[in-house]
Structures are given as C-alpha cells and as structure tokens.
A = this chain, B = another copy of it.
Amino acid sequence: MNETGTEAQKARASEWFETLRDRICAAFEAIEDSFDGPGGPGLDPATPAGRFERSAWQRPDKKVSSGGGGVMSVMRGRVFEKVGVNVSTVHGTFSDEFAGQIPGTDKSPAFWAAGISLVAHMRSPKVPAVHMNTRHIVTGKAWFGGGADLTPMVPDDTDTADFHAALKAACDGHEPGDYARFKAWCDDYFFLKHRNEARGVGGIFFDNLDCADAADWDAKFAFTRAVGEAFLEIYPDIVRRHMDEPWAEAERAHQLVRRGRYVEFNLLYDRGTKFGLMTGGNTEAILMSLPPEVRWP
C-alpha cells in the first residue's frame, strides 16, 4: 500500500468532506437569508428562507457485502429550488462483475470510498445550476477524483470566465492539478452524444489521481481540498450576482427544458449514478441530483 489508504488518511479525507459540507451548507443558507426576491413568477413572496434538512442512511446489504453510510442534506428554498449535498463513507466488497472494472481490485475486491457530491437546481433561470463532487477511494490502490461544472441556462461570459479561473487557480496552486487536461476531460465527459450538445459550460473533471506514497497522498489530498475551496469561493459569488434579477415566464420555460438535458445526462451517461445504482447505493441520495421540475414539451 506504500503508506497510502491508511486508516488515518481515510479518517482525514472523510472528515474533510464533512467539513466542506458544513461550510457549503452555511454559505448557501446565508444566501437564502439575504435574498430580497422573488424575482419572477411562481414563488410565494411569503416563502421563508430555506434551511438544509439532513437525513442519515445506512448502506444496505444488497449485492455486495458492505457497511457505512451517508448523510443527505437537502434544501428547498427561495433561491435554491432544490439543492442536495451528500456525504458518504462506505466500504464493502465488489461483486465479480464490478471488481474487474475498478483499479486495484485484481488481488482483492474490497473497497472503501468517501466523498461529497452536490447538485444545485436554482429557482431563477438567471442563476446557473452547478455540480461539484470530490471523492477518495481505496482498493489495492488509493486515489482521488472529482470535479465541478457549471450549467447556466443563459450563459454569461463573466460567470463562465470566473468559474474557470477559480478552478484554474486551484489547479495551478497544486502540483497534481493539470488544469488543461482536467478542463478537457470535463468537456469530454459532460457531453450529450445523442444531442450533440455540451451539458453546460464545463469546469474540471479528474479521476484516478493515484497516490504513490504518503507525501503523494498529502499532495493529492491538498489538491482535492483546493477544488472544494475554489467551488466554495466562486459559486456563491455567482449566485449573488444574479439572484435578485427579474425573470420572465419564457425564461423559466427555457430553464425547465434545459433541465431535461441534465436528467438525460445523469440517467444515460453519468458513471456515478449508474455505478451507485448498480452497487446497492442509496437510491434517494443518488437521484437527489434530479431537478425538482422538468419539461420535455
């Protein structure tokens, strides 16, 4: 194991994902509090500021022997129409079907995984939807993966530039962060082949950042933390820029159609969704990413 994937490292990673969750939830609740809206039709002006509701789940014993669980935090608010932030720390044994497909499972099908996953669907069509996920996985190998990508309904050049710049800064500040590669990987991954359309304006995506030794683990963990910090710095800022702008019914209709593309991606292509549903993950937590209201007119 080259001193990676130790119990101490697992605990540090797992704690970080929970800390990041707490900070993100606090930042999003503060946005709910400072909202002056409503900016458009469909929201009762008396709607109170949203608050996250947490529910814990245990990993059920299905196809794979397993343990651990997670906490799903969901807020349905005035600015955030539906935002889910899931953290989980699970362990188990892959079925033969999956063991061969996962790095480091050639000698043993055992795995440990922890991560944070976030999807926000915003009430206003002027505010971009967003996805962020980082994770640490330990099999015979130990690696980090993750990314963040922005899905505006009406792209705004400044938002897009600032979102990319924040992620670039996280990459540039840490040796494992190869911005050009991770940006291209994101564009390639979040693409709807059947529509010949990108899901949004991109961001970064990275996986299989293998940890060679303890120092390498530290470097990759630091990079993973930096991605979370970058998200926490830029996304709330982008939300605040637009949340009080008025919008019209036609813009809302456009948003609901674009959300359909989000659903198509998540159910047709998303590796995390498919992997989670097929390995006995928590269905409610996995599908928390689906938008609250969608149209295929």
Contacts and interface: CB of A to CB of B under 8 A. Distances in A.
Contact of A293 (B264, B283, B290, B293): B293
Contact of A263 (B82, B256, B263, B293): B263
Contacts of A292: 295-297
Contacts of A264: 267, 287
A45 to B, nearest CB: 20
**Number of contact residues on A: which range applies?**
20 to 34
Contacts of A76: 297
Interface in A259-276: 260, 263-264, 267-268, 274
Contacts of A82: 296-297
A63 to B, nearest CB: 10
A249 to B, nearest CB: 14
Nearest to A290: B296
A194 interface: yes
B296 A291 contact: yes
Interface string A125-145: 000000000000000000000
Contact of A195 (B195, B263, B274, B283): B283
Contact of A268 (B195, B267, B293): B267
A264 B283 CA distance: 12
A277 interface: yes
Contacts of A263: 263, 267, 294
A297 B82 CA distance: 8
Interface in A235-274: 256, 260, 263-264, 267-268, 274
Contacts of A256: 293
Interface string A150-173: 000000000000000000000000
A18 B210 CA distance: 57
Contacts of A287: 194, 264, 296
Interface in A67-112: 76, 82
A41 to B, nearest CB: 14
A259 to B, nearest CB: 9
Contacts of A283: 194-195
A268 B286 CA distance: 13
**Smallest CB-CB A-B distances: 8 pairs:** A267-B267, A290-B296, A194-B277, A294-B294, A194-B283, A267-B268, A293-B295, A292-B297
Interface of A: 76, 82, 193-195, 256, 260, 263-264, 267-268, 274, 277, 283, 286-287, 290-297
6 contacts: A82-B296, A193-B277, A194-B277, A267-B267, A293-B295, A294-B295
